[in-house]
Chains A and B, each alone.
Chain A
């Protein structure tokens, strides 16, 4: 006779608890304790010469207004992608009008301070000037932080590939974070969207991240959890990413995507590109890690058109 035979009583116990635990998440009681309603808002600029700033305002309004996310006296960190010293028309960096509009909205909600935070690849000062970030900061009253060695401290990212890594400290000191990446193609990760934008929030040997790009993107995404993600797809880079360099590489997509689910935002933005979703391993991994969902229909979907 074998020793590890399951008795009838044990069998009932095990199956019972398993069944119960599997059904629990589906019960309404569990959703009452989880995060607030996930939403996905798509802003479309249909009229030619539409105002990007107005579109930004509209998508935030559709989400219930910026006041829902930014409290009075909050210090807000905005994470644009201004890594390359390229002019805005080349679609390599976040549109300065998007940056300006989001910063102004944060101030209108009573934010005490708004900072543009990005650890650039090209010389930061040149990036600031050429991407239009200086203009955005000046017009909105936001602060541009010049990343220097003092801004980086080793922190434990608790990722599966990344453990102790230098982090751009202001991100850990702000009250709220809004990720405002630009959508563009990338040779290795497929696309550069919201989650990959966090590579600009760390220092150290960033050029080694490419050896396992999808895992490191997810590692960073689970460490930097933004309150909102606004993907700038007003114009997208469809060739020669991520640094582009020619207007021939640019496609006017006239879209803005706002979500409080970073994975859903990326998944939605990816549909703008002619790319196989299966090749975007970082999105699938992020979903597996529970950072969000790619089942866009489960979110509260809204579309605003201008």
Chain B
């Protein structure tokens, strides 16, 4: 049974990794060149990259509470809850890819550990209560610690780009080699195996190192206590734990066979088997369905059985845990409003992806999973650090010195699992048009304006027709043309900023003013 679980976990993790690597422009565009588009139609993703978010009841419940929206994919999450009602936390034991990561770290060379205090396992209920209450008040913070979002963000914004950068540097070094076969083999390796997974460019993400360190830290906690995250921190585990109270699947101990050796208790990652009562029917809410105890029992005293639940005991939550969760749940969203970004202030650098909802609704739905950041073909979408305030930490924003918003590209709108970024077609994006900000010229830096010579790079790249950047001849010198921005035409795509020859802080920059999602931020009448 344990081997079977491990196989399923590995498969699930592999599928998750497959989906992460496919969160990008469709594969055929990259390799086969078979995609043929007749017009500037939307390019669609080929894989159901939001699958793990759709089967995630925490994402479902938190977005239902915060924004009251129902996404058809959430039926999967309902199915998971129903499954949990019958079988307990089978999701945690078998399906959860983050659980699989923890299992790998815990079960490779397992080492002896001391059980944590029972109160440690209550932390997750506190976190769950905090998330649910904060959602009710209008801030979705599930994504900070929701296992699927956590894993996706860690992989997409730190592990994949870090590995990618390392390998790409090796390939660059090889491709510069004069030894022909080294050169050639690096091309084959790069084009056929490496780049399809890790991408064709050096990708960068703001604060990616922090996301990576946090991932490493959480993963290494498993060496202190197996599946630390799952049993102590995971709010999804807490939610499923509550649902599993009436689970029909039971783990029973045959008291006539049990020798009280307590091996089962020592191998249980949760607090499902407390060492002082080995005969007790295991606590469903804390049982990860790992079946380690069954496998370990030297006398085969432990077995699984289906029966109608009687005299069930709910999870041991405790009043203090509830109170601390409620306090945090009310404090966090309210303190998060104090930077004024929802009601009052418009930080210039907070440029949301096209199709993003107004800030208030956006914060109700964005789970900071990183899908939009991973899928962006120009690497423009980055996690925020301070730009969106603490309430918007790790939410997406566009950094135009890293990339720009391709005029007809709608990939980020397509992958958003909760609809914080609304679906758009290329047609809708360009014809409405959806503005994400507006450009302005910094005349002190601009080459023609500052008298340093001709340059029309921003005008040349402007994708709208008629162009939002137009040039006027300088009085006195017909050879110098000066750029002006037409705010009625500018969509804020940022290609002008990205291509400006003045690096670092370009001479033309995009700010959020003028974005169409916010009435307050509009400029023109």
User: Interface of A with B (CB < 8 Å)?
Assistant: 85-87, 89, 121-123, 125-126, 128-130, 132, 134-135, 137-138, 144, 146, 148-150, 186-188, 205, 207-208, 210-213, 239-240, 242-246, 248-249
Q: Pick 20 A–B contacts, CB within 8 A, sort by A.
A: A87-B40, A123-B25, A123-B406, A125-B29, A125-B377, A126-B29, A149-B175, A150-B172, A150-B187, A188-B456, A208-B501, A210-B455, A210-B501, A211-B453, A213-B454, A239-B466, A240-B466, A240-B467, A242-B460, A243-B462
* Residues on B with beta carbons closer than 8 Å to the beta carbon of A125: 25, 29-30, 377
Known: A125-B29, A245-B407. 16 other contacts (CB 8 A): A86-B40, A125-B377, A129-B33, A129-B35, A135-B36, A137-B33, A148-B200, A150-B186, A150-B187, A187-B456, A187-B481, A188-B454, A210-B456, A210-B501, A212-B453, A245-B464
Tell me, yes or no, whether B440 is within 8 Å of chain A by CB.
no
**Is there an interface contact between B406 and A126, defined as CB atoms closer than 8 Å?**
yes
CA distance A140 to B25 in the complex (A): 25
**Is there an interface contact between A126 and B25, defined as CB atoms closer than 8 Å?**
yes
Within 8 A of A (CB), among B173-201: 175-176, 186-187, 190-191, 200
Nearest CB in chain A to that of B458: its residue? A207
User: Interface of B with A (CB < 8 Å)?
Assistant: 25, 29-30, 33-40, 43, 171-172, 175-176, 186-187, 190-191, 200, 377-378, 406-409, 447, 452-457, 459-467, 471, 481, 499-501
* Interchain CB contact (< 8 A) of A87 among B39, B455, B456, B465: B39
CA distance A126 to B171 in the complex (A): 24
Q: How far is the CB of A210 from chain B (nearest CB, A)?
A: 5
CA distance A212 to B447 in the complex (A): 12
* Residues on A with beta carbons closer than 8 Å to the beta carbon of B459: 187
Nearest CB in chain A to that of B36: its residue? A135
Nearest CB in chain A to that of B467: its residue? A240
CA distance A159 to B51 in the complex (A): 55
The main secondary structure of chain B at its interface with chain A is loop
**Is there an interface contact between B460 and A243, defined as CB atoms closer than 8 Å?**
yes
CA distance A205 to B501 in the complex (A): 8
9 closest Cβ pairs, A-B complex: A245-B465, A150-B175, A246-B465, A135-B36, A207-B501, A134-B33, A211-B453, A207-B457, A188-B456
CA distance A242 to B467 in the complex (A): 11
**Is there an interface contact between B378 and A123, defined as CB atoms closer than 8 Å?**
yes
Q: How far is the CB of B176 from chain A (nearest CB, A)?
A: 8
* Residues on B with beta carbons closer than 8 Å to the beta carbon of A212: 453-454
* Residues on A with beta carbons closer than 8 Å to the beta carbon of B460: 186-188, 210, 242-243
**Is there an interface contact between B172 and A149, defined as CB atoms closer than 8 Å?**
yes
* Residues on B with beta carbons closer than 8 Å to the beta carbon of A122: 406
Q: By CB atoms of chain B within 10 A, which of A138, A240, A244 has the most?
A: A240
* Interchain CB contact (< 8 A) of A130 among B37, B175, B453: B37
CA distance A148 to B35 in the complex (A): 20
* Residues on B with beta carbons closer than 8 Å to the beta carbon of A87: 37-40
**Is there an interface contact between A138 and B33, defined as CB atoms closer than 8 Å?**
yes
**Is there an interface contact between B456 and A89, defined as CB atoms closer than 8 Å?**
no
**Is there an interface contact between A129 and B43, defined as CB atoms closer than 8 Å?**
yes
* Residues on A with beta carbons closer than 8 Å to the beta carbon of B190: 148, 150
CA distance A115 to B499 in the complex (A): 27
Query: A245-B464, A246-B465 given as contacts; is B36 within 8 A of A132 (CB)?
Result: yes
* Residues on A with beta carbons closer than 8 Å to the beta carbon of B406: 85, 122-123, 126
CA distance A87 to B187 in the complex (A): 30
Q: How far is the CB of A27 from chain B (nearest CB, A)?
A: 41
* Residues on A with beta carbons closer than 8 Å to the beta carbon of B464: 245
* Residues on A with beta carbons closer than 8 Å to the beta carbon of B36: 129, 132, 134-135, 138
Query: A148-B200, A149-B172 given as contacts; is B471 within 8 A of A187 (CB)?
Result: yes
